[in-house]
Chain A
């Protein structure tokens, strides 16, 4: 199984701040034939179901604000929120789909 490790596990932020969170995989998620990274990011707000934000490591899902930016390749990936809004307080999960899906442990964004 591919193990996904997210850091930090929680982060206190202020509105307007730039935030970055990390996701590392135990093996490369880059498929050489199509040069795509099989990595997605989800947002889960309290009491809600997860919501897809980004796939192929950097492609935003339709309707997702452009302050959410996915980057990285191979085994190291980052989700950046360029200017955090109050509605962004949530847990963020990365997920690989190179093999059977596995998720990271999540990064919880809290208010400072």
Chain B
């Protein structure tokens, strides 16, 4: 069974940093792209980042580019999201998700989410 477990969320002041982790199990982690998607309270879904299988290629929307960094450790079956210079608008539940085999950009398994609140 595929499992994705996010940790590292919490309350952080504006301008500070936070690092999320997502530990994967139940599939060959190193064979799949991974994603971070966020959902602000009561709002819809927003793609935050993607990383390819070996970590050599990463992608971000303009809203987080230059502030967030995705990385992965295939030996530890873990994907990370380093979030710097956090803003109030970054407040959201952050989900990690796994690529659907053969369909780049389709997310076929999601974690339970990590809550991040940016507030003074």
List A residues at the B interface (Cβ < 8 Å). 1, 38, 40, 42, 49-52, 55-56, 61, 93, 95, 97, 100-106
Contact = CB atoms under 8 A, between A and B. Distances in A.
A52 B106 CA distance: 8
A50 B44 contact: no
Given A93-B45, A101-B47, A49 B113 contact: yes
Interface of B: 35, 37, 44-47, 50, 59, 61, 95, 100, 103-113
20 contacts: A38-B105, A40-B105, A40-B107, A42-B45, A49-B111, A50-B37, A50-B95, A52-B100, A52-B108, A52-B109, A55-B100, A55-B103, A95-B45, A95-B106, A97-B103, A97-B104, A101-B47, A102-B47, A104-B44, A106-B45
A93 B107 CA distance: 12
A102 B112 CA distance: 20
